[in-house]
Every structure is written in structure tokens, then in C-alpha cells.
Amino acid sequence: MPADPPGFELPLRLFLGFRMLIDELHVELARQGHPDMRPMHGFVLQAIGPEGTTAVELGRRLGVSKQAAGKTVDTLEHLGYVERRSDPGDARRKIVRLTERGVDSLARSARIFEDLRAGWARTLGEDRLRALESDLRAMTAGDVFRLDVPGWFGGY
């Protein structure tokens, strides 16, 4: 009977799978008119959501400071994915909203992810893929957002 795979293979493969999907997503996104999207942008746009949000709240969701969130919003605003509007009900707040272009990028991302998933299903079979998703869901239940990735992995 074969020995168990070494323990370090599991996290490595999980990361490689993630990275492969994200890279393929962005290759295709670039082809479809969004060449400036960075991996993190999609997560930020998702975190902003259809209702819009503020820099402080966005920072909380992403696990970074409000200044960092504001900086990211600056970039996304400059790229045309979001816009800032004054909140008529609270003069302190400036609500960050998705533009049409921002919504388009999310819609295309969703479509591309479906296609990529279908590719996995062709290789693995739908049953195996569902089992894989189900098992991952079982092991990672909980907080889907928590994207304090900037600075999490790196760091001297």
C-alpha cells in the first residue's frame, strides 16, 4: 500500500490551484477589455458590492486600514471601475459605487470562472469536482471574505 503524500503537498497544491485559476482569469479578462485588472481588484470590487460602501467600511471588510482602502479606491477610480459620490444623508460619508465598467468586469469574471470550472469538470468529471468543492467547503467553513492578503504572506 502506498505511503501518504507528504503533508506539505496539500497546501502547495491548494495554492497552485488558486493561483492558476486567478492567472487564467486575468489572461481572459485582459482579452475581454480589462487589461488593468489586478488579482486584488476583483476581490475589492466584490467587497464593495452593488450597494456601495465607504472607505472605512471597506477597510474593515478587507482587514486593512482606511488609508490603504482609500488608496486602492483611488486606483480603481482612476481606472474607471468605481466612483465616489457624496452621501446626501450624511455629509461626512463618500460612498464608493461600482461604475458600469466595474459591474461589467464582475459579470465577465463570473462568466470566466464558470468556464474555468467547466474545464476542471471536463478533466476531473463533474462528480469528482463536486466532491472536491464539497470537501473544501467542509474544511473551510466560515468567513469567505477576509482578504487581508496584502502583507499576510510576505514580510521580512
Partner DNA sequence: TAAGCTCGACAACACCATTGTCGAAACAGT
Partner DNA sequence: ACTGTTTCGACAATGGTGTTGTCGAGCTTA
> Which residues of this protein are in contact with a copy of itself, per CB under 8 A?
4-22, 25, 38-40, 71-72, 74-75, 109-110, 112-117, 120, 123-124, 128-133, 135-140, 144, 149-150, 152-156
The x, y and z cell numbers of residue 79, run together, are 481606472
- Cα separation, 31 vs 35, whole angstroms: 7
- Cα separation, 113 vs 35, whole angstroms: 17
Residue entry with cell 467600511: 57
Residue 43 and residue 104 in contact, taking contact as beta carbons nearer than 8 Å: no
Q: Does 39 bind DNA (CB under 7 A)?
A: no
Q: Choose the contact partner of 131 out of DNA, a copy of itself, none; CB within 5 to 8 A by kind.
A: a copy of itself
Scanning residues 80 to 109, which ones bind DNA (CB under 7 A)? 84, 90-95
Q: Does 67 bind DNA (CB under 7 A)?
A: yes
User: If you ran DSSP here, which 8-state letter would residue 53 be given?
Assistant: B
Q: What is the largest CA-CA distance in the chain?
A: 69
Q: Does 114 bind DNA (CB under 7 A)?
A: no
- Measured from the CB atom, is 53 or 108 closer to a copy of itself? 108
Q: Choose the contact partner of 67 out of a copy of itself, DNA, none; CB within 5 to 8 A by kind.
A: DNA
Q: Choose the contact partner of 33 out of DNA, a copy of itself, none; CB within 5 to 8 A by kind.
A: none
Which one, of 75, 88, 59, 76, lies nearest residue 148 by Cα? 59
Radius of gyration of the chain (CA): 18
| Binder of DNA out of 54, 81, 106, 112 (CB under 7 A) | 54
